[in-house]
Structure 1
Amino acid sequence: MKNKLLFLFGILFLMSCTTSKPRRPINPKPSTTIFQDNIEATKKIFELEESEILEFIKKDTTKLYETSSSGFWYTYNTKIEEKLAMPKTGDVVRFEYDIKDLNDSVLYSKAILGVKNYKVDKEDFISGIQKGIKLMKIGETITFVIPSYNAFGISGDGNKIGINKTIKSTVTLLNIN
Protein backbone atom coordinates (compact mmCIF):
# COMPACT_ATOMS: atom_id res chain seq x y z
CA MET A 1 0.00 0.00 0.00
CA LYS A 2 2.83 2.34 0.89
CA ASN A 3 4.50 1.58 -2.44
CA LYS A 4 1.32 2.39 -4.35
CA LEU A 5 0.96 5.76 -2.61
CA LEU A 6 4.61 6.56 -3.24
CA PHE A 7 4.26 5.56 -6.87
CA LEU A 8 1.11 7.73 -7.23
CA PHE A 9 2.81 10.78 -5.62
CA GLY A 10 5.81 10.27 -7.89
CA ILE A 11 3.67 10.30 -11.02
CA LEU A 12 1.80 13.40 -9.80
CA PHE A 13 5.12 15.08 -9.02
CA LEU A 14 6.50 14.33 -12.49
CA MET A 15 3.32 15.55 -14.17
CA SER A 16 3.37 18.81 -12.26
CA CYS A 17 6.99 19.52 -13.28
CA THR A 18 6.33 19.43 -17.01
CA THR A 19 6.68 22.76 -18.71
CA SER A 20 3.57 24.14 -20.33
CA LYS A 21 3.65 25.95 -23.62
CA PRO A 22 2.72 29.62 -23.41
CA ARG A 23 -0.51 30.46 -25.17
CA ARG A 24 -0.40 32.98 -27.96
CA PRO A 25 -3.06 35.69 -28.29
CA ILE A 26 -5.79 34.97 -30.78
CA ASN A 27 -5.70 38.53 -32.12
CA PRO A 28 -2.15 39.84 -32.04
CA LYS A 29 -1.62 43.53 -31.26
CA PRO A 30 -1.53 45.82 -34.28
CA SER A 31 1.92 46.52 -35.51
CA THR A 32 3.56 49.80 -34.65
CA THR A 33 3.75 50.65 -38.34
CA ILE A 34 0.02 51.46 -38.30
CA PHE A 35 0.63 54.00 -35.53
CA GLN A 36 3.64 55.41 -37.36
CA ASP A 37 1.55 55.77 -40.53
CA ASN A 38 -1.12 57.67 -38.56
CA ILE A 39 1.49 59.97 -37.04
CA GLU A 40 2.97 60.70 -40.45
CA ALA A 41 -0.46 61.39 -41.97
CA THR A 42 -1.32 63.75 -39.10
CA LYS A 43 1.95 65.62 -39.56
CA LYS A 44 1.23 66.06 -43.27
CA ILE A 45 -2.28 67.39 -42.55
CA PHE A 46 -0.84 69.80 -39.96
CA GLU A 47 1.82 71.06 -42.39
CA LEU A 48 -0.73 71.49 -45.20
CA GLU A 49 -3.12 73.43 -42.97
CA GLU A 50 -0.35 75.62 -41.62
CA SER A 51 0.89 76.47 -45.12
CA GLU A 52 -2.69 77.35 -46.19
CA ILE A 53 -3.09 79.62 -43.16
CA LEU A 54 0.26 81.33 -43.70
CA GLU A 55 -0.59 81.87 -47.37
CA PHE A 56 -3.96 83.35 -46.35
CA ILE A 57 -2.28 85.69 -43.85
CA LYS A 58 0.33 86.72 -46.42
CA LYS A 59 -2.44 87.70 -48.88
CA ASP A 60 -4.40 89.65 -46.24
CA THR A 61 -2.13 92.71 -46.20
CA THR A 62 -4.72 94.95 -44.51
CA LYS A 63 -4.42 93.24 -41.14
CA LEU A 64 -1.65 92.29 -38.74
CA TYR A 65 -2.04 88.72 -37.46
CA GLU A 66 -0.53 87.48 -34.24
CA THR A 67 0.25 83.86 -33.39
CA SER A 68 -1.06 82.46 -30.15
CA SER A 69 0.76 79.93 -28.05
CA SER A 70 -2.34 77.73 -28.36
CA GLY A 71 -1.92 77.15 -32.10
CA PHE A 72 -4.19 79.69 -33.79
CA TRP A 73 -3.75 83.13 -35.36
CA TYR A 74 -5.74 86.27 -34.62
CA THR A 75 -6.13 89.91 -35.57
CA TYR A 76 -7.91 92.72 -33.78
CA ASN A 77 -10.80 94.32 -35.66
CA THR A 78 -11.58 96.49 -32.62
CA LYS A 79 -8.89 96.79 -29.95
CA ILE A 80 -9.32 98.50 -26.59
CA GLU A 81 -6.08 99.89 -25.24
CA GLU A 82 -7.22 100.70 -21.71
CA LYS A 83 -6.52 98.19 -18.98
CA LEU A 84 -9.77 96.25 -18.49
CA ALA A 85 -10.60 92.85 -17.05
CA MET A 86 -10.23 89.81 -19.27
CA PRO A 87 -12.17 86.55 -18.86
CA LYS A 88 -10.70 83.88 -16.62
CA THR A 89 -11.71 80.33 -15.78
CA GLY A 90 -15.20 80.15 -14.30
CA ASP A 91 -16.40 83.54 -15.61
CA VAL A 92 -19.56 83.56 -17.69
CA VAL A 93 -19.01 85.51 -20.89
CA ARG A 94 -21.49 86.68 -23.46
CA PHE A 95 -20.34 86.99 -27.05
CA GLU A 96 -21.43 86.82 -30.65
CA TYR A 97 -19.50 85.09 -33.40
CA ASP A 98 -19.64 83.76 -36.92
CA ILE A 99 -17.83 80.97 -38.71
CA LYS A 100 -16.32 81.32 -42.20
CA ASP A 101 -13.90 79.37 -44.33
CA LEU A 102 -10.61 80.84 -45.53
CA ASN A 103 -12.28 82.05 -48.74
CA ASP A 104 -14.56 84.27 -46.60
CA SER A 105 -17.64 82.18 -47.40
CA VAL A 106 -20.02 82.38 -44.46
CA LEU A 107 -20.71 78.92 -43.05
CA TYR A 108 -22.66 80.10 -40.00
CA SER A 109 -23.61 83.77 -39.62
CA LYS A 110 -23.96 85.73 -36.37
CA ALA A 111 -27.71 85.81 -37.03
CA ILE A 112 -27.88 82.01 -37.12
CA LEU A 113 -25.55 81.41 -34.18
CA GLY A 114 -27.00 84.18 -32.03
CA VAL A 115 -25.50 85.44 -28.79
CA LYS A 116 -23.68 82.75 -26.81
CA ASN A 117 -23.34 82.54 -23.04
CA TYR A 118 -20.30 80.48 -22.15
CA LYS A 119 -18.70 79.53 -18.84
CA VAL A 120 -14.97 79.88 -19.50
CA ASP A 121 -13.14 76.52 -19.49
CA LYS A 122 -16.13 74.77 -17.93
CA GLU A 123 -18.13 74.01 -21.09
CA ASP A 124 -17.33 72.16 -24.29
CA PHE A 125 -16.97 74.57 -27.19
CA ILE A 126 -14.69 75.24 -30.17
CA SER A 127 -11.23 74.92 -28.63
CA GLY A 128 -9.66 77.85 -30.51
CA ILE A 129 -12.45 80.22 -29.49
CA GLN A 130 -12.35 78.95 -25.89
CA LYS A 131 -8.69 79.91 -25.68
CA GLY A 132 -9.09 83.07 -27.73
CA ILE A 133 -11.84 84.54 -25.55
CA LYS A 134 -9.34 84.74 -22.69
CA LEU A 135 -7.35 87.28 -24.78
CA MET A 136 -10.30 89.66 -25.09
CA LYS A 137 -11.71 92.66 -23.24
CA ILE A 138 -15.36 93.74 -23.26
CA GLY A 139 -16.12 95.51 -26.54
CA GLU A 140 -13.25 94.02 -28.52
CA THR A 141 -13.74 92.20 -31.79
CA ILE A 142 -11.12 89.70 -32.91
CA THR A 143 -10.95 87.49 -35.99
CA PHE A 144 -9.46 84.10 -35.19
CA VAL A 145 -7.96 81.80 -37.83
CA ILE A 146 -8.29 78.35 -36.29
CA PRO A 147 -6.75 75.16 -37.72
CA SER A 148 -8.88 72.04 -37.67
CA TYR A 149 -7.18 70.53 -34.62
CA ASN A 150 -8.41 73.54 -32.60
CA ALA A 151 -11.81 73.60 -34.32
CA PHE A 152 -13.81 70.62 -35.59
CA GLY A 153 -10.91 68.22 -36.31
CA ILE A 154 -11.17 65.02 -38.27
CA SER A 155 -14.94 64.81 -37.97
CA GLY A 156 -16.07 68.27 -39.08
CA ASP A 157 -19.44 69.37 -37.77
CA GLY A 158 -21.42 66.89 -39.85
CA ASN A 159 -22.99 69.72 -41.83
CA LYS A 160 -21.16 72.69 -43.39
CA ILE A 161 -17.66 72.22 -41.98
CA GLY A 162 -15.76 69.34 -43.54
CA ILE A 163 -13.03 67.19 -42.07
CA ASN A 164 -9.66 68.82 -41.35
CA LYS A 165 -10.91 72.29 -42.34
CA THR A 166 -9.46 75.54 -41.06
CA ILE A 167 -12.07 78.09 -40.02
CA LYS A 168 -12.20 81.84 -39.39
CA SER A 169 -14.37 83.24 -36.65
CA THR A 170 -15.01 86.88 -35.85
CA VAL A 171 -15.88 87.17 -32.16
CA THR A 172 -17.18 90.21 -30.28
CA LEU A 173 -17.04 90.02 -26.48
CA LEU A 174 -20.19 91.63 -25.08
CA ASN A 175 -19.97 91.00 -21.34
CA ILE A 176 -18.06 89.21 -18.54
CA ASN A 177 -19.79 88.08 -15.32
Structure 2
Amino acid sequence: MPKPLVFLFVLLLMGSCAQPEARRPVSQNSGSFVNASVSRNQELVAQQEAAIKAVIAKDTTASFTSSENGFWYTKTVVDSTATYLPQFGDQLTFDYQIEDIYGNVIYPKQQISPRTYAMDQQELISGLRQGLKLMHQGESMILFLPSYTAFGYYGDDNKIGINYPLKVKVDLLSIDPQNKNESNN
Protein backbone atom coordinates (compact mmCIF):
# COMPACT_ATOMS: atom_id res chain seq x y z
CA MET A 1 0.00 0.00 0.00
CA PRO A 2 1.44 3.39 -0.88
CA LYS A 3 2.64 5.59 1.98
CA PRO A 4 0.26 8.52 1.27
CA LEU A 5 -2.74 6.20 1.50
CA VAL A 6 -1.51 4.69 4.78
CA PHE A 7 -0.89 8.16 6.15
CA LEU A 8 -4.40 9.27 5.10
CA PHE A 9 -5.92 6.10 6.60
CA VAL A 10 -4.15 6.65 9.95
CA LEU A 11 -5.20 10.29 9.95
CA LEU A 12 -8.85 9.32 9.40
CA LEU A 13 -8.68 6.73 12.19
CA MET A 14 -7.25 9.27 14.62
CA GLY A 15 -9.88 11.83 13.71
CA SER A 16 -12.73 9.39 14.20
CA CYS A 17 -11.60 8.50 17.74
CA ALA A 18 -12.07 12.03 19.05
CA GLN A 19 -14.42 12.57 22.01
CA PRO A 20 -17.88 13.80 21.00
CA GLU A 21 -18.65 17.30 22.16
CA ALA A 22 -21.71 17.81 24.28
CA ARG A 23 -24.43 19.90 22.74
CA ARG A 24 -25.27 23.07 24.54
CA PRO A 25 -28.87 23.31 25.72
CA VAL A 26 -31.14 25.62 23.85
CA SER A 27 -31.89 28.37 26.31
CA GLN A 28 -35.45 29.55 26.64
CA ASN A 29 -36.71 32.52 28.50
CA SER A 30 -39.35 30.83 30.69
CA GLY A 31 -39.99 33.95 32.74
CA SER A 32 -42.38 35.33 30.17
CA PHE A 33 -44.40 32.09 30.11
CA VAL A 34 -44.62 31.98 33.90
CA ASN A 35 -45.64 35.64 34.08
CA ALA A 36 -48.33 35.14 31.44
CA SER A 37 -49.62 32.06 33.30
CA VAL A 38 -49.77 33.95 36.60
CA SER A 39 -51.67 36.78 34.92
CA ARG A 40 -54.18 34.36 33.36
CA ASN A 41 -54.76 32.62 36.69
CA GLN A 42 -55.23 35.91 38.53
CA GLU A 43 -57.80 37.01 35.95
CA LEU A 44 -59.60 33.66 36.21
CA VAL A 45 -59.76 33.85 40.01
CA ALA A 46 -61.00 37.45 39.85
CA GLN A 47 -63.75 36.50 37.35
CA GLN A 48 -64.88 33.53 39.44
CA GLU A 49 -64.89 35.55 42.66
CA ALA A 50 -66.90 38.33 40.99
CA ALA A 51 -69.46 35.80 39.70
CA ILE A 52 -69.77 34.17 43.14
CA LYS A 53 -70.12 37.54 44.88
CA ALA A 54 -72.85 38.54 42.41
CA VAL A 55 -74.81 35.35 43.18
CA ILE A 56 -74.32 35.82 46.94
CA ALA A 57 -75.48 39.45 46.71
CA LYS A 58 -78.77 38.29 45.17
CA ASP A 59 -79.43 35.87 48.05
CA THR A 60 -81.26 37.94 50.66
CA THR A 61 -82.07 34.94 52.87
CA ALA A 62 -78.51 34.08 53.96
CA SER A 63 -75.42 35.84 55.19
CA PHE A 64 -72.24 34.40 53.69
CA THR A 65 -68.82 34.51 55.30
CA SER A 66 -65.56 34.62 53.37
CA SER A 67 -63.19 31.95 54.68
CA GLU A 68 -59.44 32.30 54.95
CA ASN A 69 -59.21 29.34 52.55
CA GLY A 70 -60.73 31.24 49.62
CA PHE A 71 -64.38 30.12 49.64
CA TRP A 72 -67.67 31.52 50.96
CA TYR A 73 -70.05 29.69 53.29
CA THR A 74 -73.19 29.99 55.35
CA LYS A 75 -74.67 27.60 57.85
CA THR A 76 -78.30 26.82 57.05
CA VAL A 77 -78.84 24.56 60.07
CA VAL A 78 -76.95 25.39 63.25
CA ASP A 79 -76.59 23.31 66.41
CA SER A 80 -75.81 25.89 69.08
CA THR A 81 -75.29 23.21 71.74
CA ALA A 82 -72.54 21.30 69.92
CA THR A 83 -68.95 22.17 70.73
CA TYR A 84 -66.88 19.49 68.98
CA LEU A 85 -65.41 20.24 65.55
CA PRO A 86 -63.89 17.49 63.39
CA GLN A 87 -60.23 16.75 64.03
CA PHE A 88 -57.55 14.84 62.12
CA GLY A 89 -58.52 11.18 61.75
CA ASP A 90 -62.17 11.52 62.84
CA GLN A 91 -64.66 9.52 60.77
CA LEU A 92 -67.30 11.83 59.28
CA THR A 93 -70.51 10.82 57.57
CA PHE A 94 -72.11 13.50 55.44
CA ASP A 95 -74.55 14.08 52.62
CA TYR A 96 -73.80 16.59 49.91
CA GLN A 97 -74.97 17.87 46.57
CA ILE A 98 -72.86 19.61 43.93
CA GLU A 99 -74.34 22.41 41.82
CA ASP A 100 -73.03 25.14 39.58
CA ILE A 101 -73.00 28.53 41.28
CA TYR A 102 -76.43 29.36 39.84
CA GLY A 103 -78.08 26.35 41.51
CA ASN A 104 -78.23 23.91 38.60
CA VAL A 105 -77.66 20.42 40.02
CA ILE A 106 -74.58 18.61 38.68
CA TYR A 107 -74.46 15.69 41.14
CA PRO A 108 -77.67 15.19 43.15
CA LYS A 109 -77.46 14.14 46.77
CA GLN A 110 -79.06 10.78 45.98
CA GLN A 111 -76.26 9.93 43.54
CA ILE A 112 -73.22 10.72 45.71
CA SER A 113 -74.38 10.49 49.32
CA PRO A 114 -73.92 9.46 52.04
CA ARG A 115 -70.16 9.69 52.15
CA THR A 116 -67.81 8.50 54.89
CA TYR A 117 -64.55 10.38 55.17
CA ALA A 118 -61.53 10.15 57.48
CA MET A 119 -60.68 13.79 58.19
CA ASP A 120 -57.49 14.84 56.38
CA GLN A 121 -56.58 11.23 55.60
CA GLN A 122 -58.48 10.72 52.35
CA GLU A 123 -58.87 12.59 49.07
CA LEU A 124 -61.53 15.29 49.07
CA ILE A 125 -61.69 18.61 47.27
CA SER A 126 -60.03 21.24 49.47
CA GLY A 127 -63.02 23.57 49.78
CA LEU A 128 -65.31 20.80 51.04
CA ARG A 129 -62.61 19.46 53.37
CA GLN A 130 -62.07 22.91 54.90
CA GLY A 131 -65.83 23.51 55.11
CA LEU A 132 -66.36 20.28 57.05
CA LYS A 133 -63.82 21.49 59.62
CA LEU A 134 -66.16 24.41 60.37
CA MET A 135 -69.21 22.22 61.05
CA HIS A 136 -70.65 20.53 64.12
CA GLN A 137 -72.57 17.28 63.93
CA GLY A 138 -76.12 17.89 62.69
CA GLU A 139 -75.33 21.15 60.92
CA SER A 140 -75.90 22.04 57.26
CA MET A 141 -73.87 24.44 55.16
CA ILE A 142 -73.78 25.99 51.70
CA LEU A 143 -70.32 26.52 50.21
CA PHE A 144 -69.38 28.59 47.17
CA LEU A 145 -66.06 27.24 45.89
CA PRO A 146 -63.85 28.93 43.29
CA SER A 147 -62.35 26.33 40.96
CA TYR A 148 -58.99 26.28 42.75
CA THR A 149 -60.75 25.00 45.91
CA ALA A 150 -62.91 22.57 43.91
CA PHE A 151 -61.73 20.44 40.98
CA GLY A 152 -59.35 23.04 39.55
CA TYR A 153 -57.67 22.87 36.20
CA TYR A 154 -58.56 19.24 35.51
CA GLY A 155 -62.24 19.08 36.42
CA ASP A 156 -63.56 15.68 37.46
CA ASP A 157 -63.25 14.01 34.03
CA ASN A 158 -67.02 13.59 33.98
CA LYS A 159 -69.60 16.34 34.53
CA ILE A 160 -67.44 19.14 35.94
CA GLY A 161 -65.27 20.99 33.46
CA ILE A 162 -61.94 22.69 33.93
CA ASN A 163 -61.78 25.81 36.11
CA TYR A 164 -65.42 25.50 37.14
CA PRO A 165 -66.65 27.19 40.35
CA LEU A 166 -69.19 25.22 42.38
CA LYS A 167 -71.92 25.49 44.98
CA VAL A 168 -71.94 22.60 47.46
CA LYS A 169 -74.72 21.88 49.94
CA VAL A 170 -73.50 19.66 52.77
CA ASP A 171 -75.12 18.07 55.84
CA LEU A 172 -72.77 16.70 58.50
CA LEU A 173 -74.64 13.64 59.77
CA SER A 174 -72.14 12.28 62.29
CA ILE A 175 -68.66 12.63 63.70
CA ASP A 176 -66.96 9.54 65.10
CA PRO A 177 -63.94 10.96 66.93
CA GLN A 178 -60.63 9.14 66.63
CA ASN A 179 -60.11 9.78 70.33
CA LYS A 180 -63.49 8.87 71.88
CA ASN A 181 -62.78 10.94 75.04
CA GLU A 182 -62.68 14.25 73.14
CA SER A 183 -66.24 14.32 71.79
CA ASN A 184 -68.97 16.28 73.53
CA ASN A 185 -71.57 16.22 70.77
**TM-score, scaled to structure 2:** 0.80
SS in 1 for 2:142: strand
1:1-177 equivalences in 2 (<5 Å): 25-177=24-176
Pick closer, same or farther for the CA change 1:158–1:47 going to 2, 3 Å: same
Counterpart CA distance in 1 for 2:173 and 2:82 is 16
Dislocated runs of 4+, deviation >6 Å? none
Pick closer, same or farther for the CA change 1:56–1:27 going to 2, 3 Å: same
Gaps of 5+ in 1: 1-21
Counterpart CA distance in 2 for 1:23 and 1:29 is 18
Deviation by residue 1:86-144 (Cα, 9 ceiling, x = unmatched): 10111111101010001211000110002111011111111100011010011000011
Deviation, structure 1 residue 84: 2.3
Counterpart CA distance in 1 for 2:164 and 2:71 is 13
SS in 1 for 2:129: helix
Counterpart CA distance in 1 for 2:151 and 2:134 is 21
Deviation, structure 1 residue 83: 3.6
Q: Percent identity?
A: 35
Deviation, structure 1 residue 80: 1.1
Deviation, structure 1 residue 23: 6.4
Pick closer, same or farther for the CA change 1:172–1:92 going to 2, 3 Å: same
Counterpart CA distance in 2 for 1:63 and 1:51 is 18
**TM-score, scaled to structure 1:** 0.84
Deviation, structure 1 residue 45: 0.3
Counterpart CA distance in 1 for 2:99 and 2:45 is 19
Counterpart CA distance in 2 for 1:60 and 1:25 is 60
Pairs aligned (count) = 156
Cα-Cα RMSD: 1.5
Residue 183 of structure 2 aligns with which residue?
A: none
Deviation, structure 1 residue 62: 1.1
Gaps of 5+ in 2: 1-20, 177-185
